[in-house]
Amino acid sequence: MADDVIQMQVWRGNWGLPSSDPNCLAVLAYCKFSGVPVRIRKTGNTLRSPSGAFPILRHRAVTETKVSGIFSYLRKQRWGSDFELSNKQGADVIAYSSMLEEKLLPAILHLWWIDSKTFVDVTRPWYAKIVPFPLNFYVPGRMQKEAWMRVFLPNNGANITTSEVEAKIYRDARECLNHLSYKLGDKEFFFGKMPTSLDALVFGYLAPILKAPLPNNQIQNHLKGCDNLSNLCDKILRRYFPPTSESDSKRKQEDDKKMAQNADFPNRQRNMILAAMFALTTMVGYAFLSGLIQIDFCEEKAISSPSECKAPDFELLDPLFEDQQEEEES
């Protein structure tokens, strides 16, 4: 039955990644590590999400929209990659996961959504491409506002400037990467030869930083100096998300086509508006010239009764609207 299939909706991917979103990448990696039989749907239509974001897990009557909730639900269904961990290792997973959210996430949000050059050159064009019209006018701005609140509101009560907040979050991000690199060491994964939920989270956070062409990527420079973390991301991509030449070629063609359309985005919108105005003017002019609309002007002094001034015959407009309706329905 369809209800027995675990369904997952995630943001679409780019730059060689199965998804461009850290949370979606973490969930996809966890499903791969655990062998979860899941049906993946890549989308950009936020109307399909109760929270307006992704990932979303749907199974039977359950809907989960947070990474922690998705991991927990999959574990309850006996799908998971953490069952072999000891109690201490399980505690380490919780501790390092909290560190990622507290220390690394603010810098990633700032890098993608608040840095003006990155937002204008990369982030907004990407989401404007994958989010359907007209939501693509609204969603990037909404996500930017949410990122700003997540980065700056925790420091709102402190007497520090914006530049000081930015320096702090990037300093915390570098320290977090150093701790992760030390924890990983020369091991294949964080807890040995088998990946866990911590490996999935780290991959989700770090892979977009490595692969996306971000112009002001100061975290990337530090991350590349942590060879074991960079190798971990590349290893997971090769082993669990191997590319296929056919899908890569098709995706590249689609991306090139949409990027070409977006390159002329302002002019294209202007031309659409002008074309609509021209069509409306032409239609009204045709209605006047063909007699479908008639206006009789009567001098006030010459009117002896209301019946002397004829009202427009709106019944003559019926064929015009009928033609339009048939065209829309066809």
- pLDDT the model gives residue 129: 92
Work out whether strand 62-64 and strand 6-11 pair parallel, antiparallel, or are unpaired: unpaired
Work out whether strand 38-43 and strand 6-11 pair parallel, antiparallel, or are unpaired: parallel
Domains in the chain, please, with CATH? Answer: 2-263 (1.20.1050.130), 281-329 (no CATH)
Q: State pLDDT tens for residues 18-63.
A: 999 999 999 999 999 999 999 999 999 998 888 888 999 999 889 9
pLDDT for residue 180 is more than 90: yes
Cα separation, 1 vs 7, in Å, equals: 12
Of 112-121, 209-218, 238-247, 304-313, minimum mean pLDDT range: 304-313
Q: Which residues are 324's β-sheet partners? A: none
Cα separation, 168 vs 170, in Å, equals: 6
- When pLDDT is averaged across residues 79-83 and rounded to a whole number, the result is 87
Scanning 86-226, the segments in alpha helix (DSSP H) are 87-99, 105-109, 116-118, 124-130, 139-152, 162-184, 197-211, 218-225
- pLDDT the model gives residue 318: 39
pLDDT for residue 12 is more than 80: yes
**Per-residue pLDDT band at 204 (split at 50, 70, 90):** very high
The residue ranking higher by pLDDT, 316 or 202, is 202
- When pLDDT is averaged across residues 231-260 and rounded to a whole number, the result is 71
- pLDDT the model gives residue 121: 92
- pLDDT the model gives residue 248: 55
Of 20-24, 58-62, 139-143, 291-295, minimum mean pLDDT range: 291-295
- pLDDT the model gives residue 139: 92
**Per-residue pLDDT band at 5 (split at 50, 70, 90):** confident
Q: State pLDDT tens for residues 85-115.
A: 999 999 999 999 999 999 999 999 999 999 9
pLDDT for residue 255 is more than 80: no
- pLDDT the model gives residue 275: 59
pLDDT for residue 122 is more than 50: yes
Nearest to 107 by CA among 161, 53, 151: 151
Cα separation, 294 vs 312, in Å, equals: 6
- pLDDT the model gives residue 39: 94
- pLDDT the model gives residue 274: 65
> 3-class DSSP state for residue 205?
helix
What pTM was computed for the model? 0.74
Dihedral angle over CA of 188, 193, 198, 204, nearest 10: 60
Place of tokens 């990448």: 25
